[in-house]
Amino acid sequence: MTDPAVLPFLPFTRPTLDEATIGSVTEVLRSGWLTSNGPKVQAFEKQLSAYVGGRPVRTYNSGTCTMEIALRIAGIGPGDEVITTPNSWVATANVIIEVGATPVFADIDPRTHNIDMTAVEAAITPRTRALIPVHMAGLPCDMDALYALAHRHSLRVVEDAAQAIGSTWKGRRIGSFGDLVSFSFQVNKNIMTAEGGCLVVNDADEALLAEKYRLQGVTRSGLDGIDVDVLGGKLNMTEIAAAIGLGQMARLEEFNARRLALARHYFGCFGSDFEARYGAELPVADFGQCNWHMFHLVLPDRITRAAFMQKMLDHNIGLGFHYAAIHLFTFYRERGFKEGMFPVAERVCRQIVTLPLFPTLTEADVERVVGAVKAALG
């Protein structure tokens, strides 16, 4: 048998970049127009808008600032509470504090790992103004329950769809309906621009605000007309990033189809008795709506995550963990959060690992990962 340690290193993710895209980046570099609102950014925004059914879309240099801007567009600020999940990248909660509002967490569903709508409803107070649900690993939240609840309580929704490009709900793409929807194009995402993001807004007025917030609050008119009437940042996407985005966009459906095929292969290799035999939890087997941004495993309590990750590293396989519970970070503990507040998220976030999944992974790689997982779980 081949010594697993001499097999090539398998990371949990890896970007897929083709020569045509690299060529288009070179073209931008030679063109002289490298940054703001050039032809590539405009073309990328047009394609993204078409992808979400014609809703207005504006691009940015991260999927973090998109959410911050979404909160600003929704008028969220000091005195307001925003309910979100403790199971996300810390950006999801940080943006609430950035705009001066107060984050309120609600626990997650143990199977989907998405925010539990019953817990959300229980967390609503007279100060609640908005919700930031996350479509974790690309598995959509229950959109019917989410928007019914938001309407019932007159709340704005900022969907953190950082991981959900190409995911659908009952046949409709995430982003093509709902309120404000934020996508990330950070390097690990199903399509990436190295760093970047975009925000889907509701109408032309919001689109105008979305533009002002991304570039110092500036409005231009004529040849030399300029005014600033809101406080904006420097958050625009570069032409270089947009060139990468256009190359990725052309392959989004192919990438997502490949991820789906690999996810199916994972389930086939683990087999139907895996959970009962090893005590680990597989993700929801959603082969219709999820874009398979990640493939998660929740480990049994009998093994620590660090020990498991080390065993996988001994097989030359690198895992991720998405995520650590946000409310247990020092910064959040200092704001009154502590262990025991969100027990489901705390268990999942302590024991979750991310297995390799990216378009250039092979079926043989999946078989190798599953073999190593079973060996590591003994």
Ligand X SMILES: Cc1ncc(COP(=O)(O)O)c(C=O)c1O
Listed ranges 106-114, 157-165, 298-306, 360-368: which one lies at the site for ligand X (CB under 6 A): 157-165
Catalytic residue among 40, 189, 212, 311: 189
CB–CB of 312/319 below 8 Å? yes
Residue of 24, 92, 128, 167 that binds ligand X (CB under 6 A): 92
Neighbours of 81 (CB within 10 A): 18
Q: Which is nearer to ligand X, 86 or 278 (CB)?
A: 86
Residue of 73, 162, 237, 317 that binds ligand X (CB under 6 A): 162
- Using CB under 6 A as the binding rule, whether residue 89 contacts ligand X is answered as yes
Q: Which is nearer to ligand X, 92 or 238 (CB)?
A: 92
Residues whose CB is less than 8 angstroms from the CB of residue 252 and which lie 6 or more positions away in sequence, other chains included: 51, 165, 166, 190, 191
Q: How far is CA 208 from the centre of its chain?
A: 25
CB–CB of 195/235 below 8 Å? no
- Strand order of the β-sheet with 57-60 is 57-60, 197-200, 180-184, 156-160, 128-132, 81-84, 102-105
Helix segments in 316-362, DSSP class H: 330-333, 343-351
Residue 170 annotated among the catalytic residues of the structure: no
Q: Could you give the string, one character per residue 170-209, with x where binding to ligand X holds by CB under 6 A and - elsewhere?
A: --------------x-x----------x------------
Query: Residue 292 and residue 256: Cα distance in Å, rounded?
Result: 7
Q: Least distance (Å) from ligand X to the CB of residue 325?
A: 14
Residues whose CB is less than 8 angstroms from the CB of residue 349 and which lie 6 or more positions away in sequence, other chains included: 86, 87, 323, 324, 325, 328
Q: Which is nearer to ligand X, 80 or 160 (CB)?
A: 160
- Using CB under 6 A as the binding rule, whether residue 91 contacts ligand X is answered as yes
- Using CB under 6 A as the binding rule, whether residue 167 contacts ligand X is answered as no
Listed ranges 88-96, 116-124, 238-246, 252-260: which one lies at the site for ligand X (CB under 6 A): 88-96
Q: Which is nearer to ligand X, 139 or 370 (CB)?
A: 139
- Using CB under 6 A as the binding rule, whether residue 114 contacts ligand X is answered as no
Q: Which is nearer to ligand X, 166 or 197 (CB)?
A: 197
Q: Could you give the string, one character per residue 295-324, with x where binding to ligand X holds by CB under 6 A and - elsewhere?
A: ------------------------------
H or E segment and range at residue 258? helix 252-270
Positions 57 through 86 that interact with ligand X (CB under 6 A): 62-64
Pick from 318, 336, 338: nearest CA to 328: 338
Residues whose CB is less than 8 angstroms from the CB of residue 135 and which lie 6 or more positions away in sequence, other chains included: 114, 141, 159, 160, 161, 163, 164, 167, 174
Q: Which residues bind ligand X (CB under 6 A)?
A: 62-64, 88-89, 91-92, 134, 160, 162-163, 184, 186, 197
Catalytic residues: 189
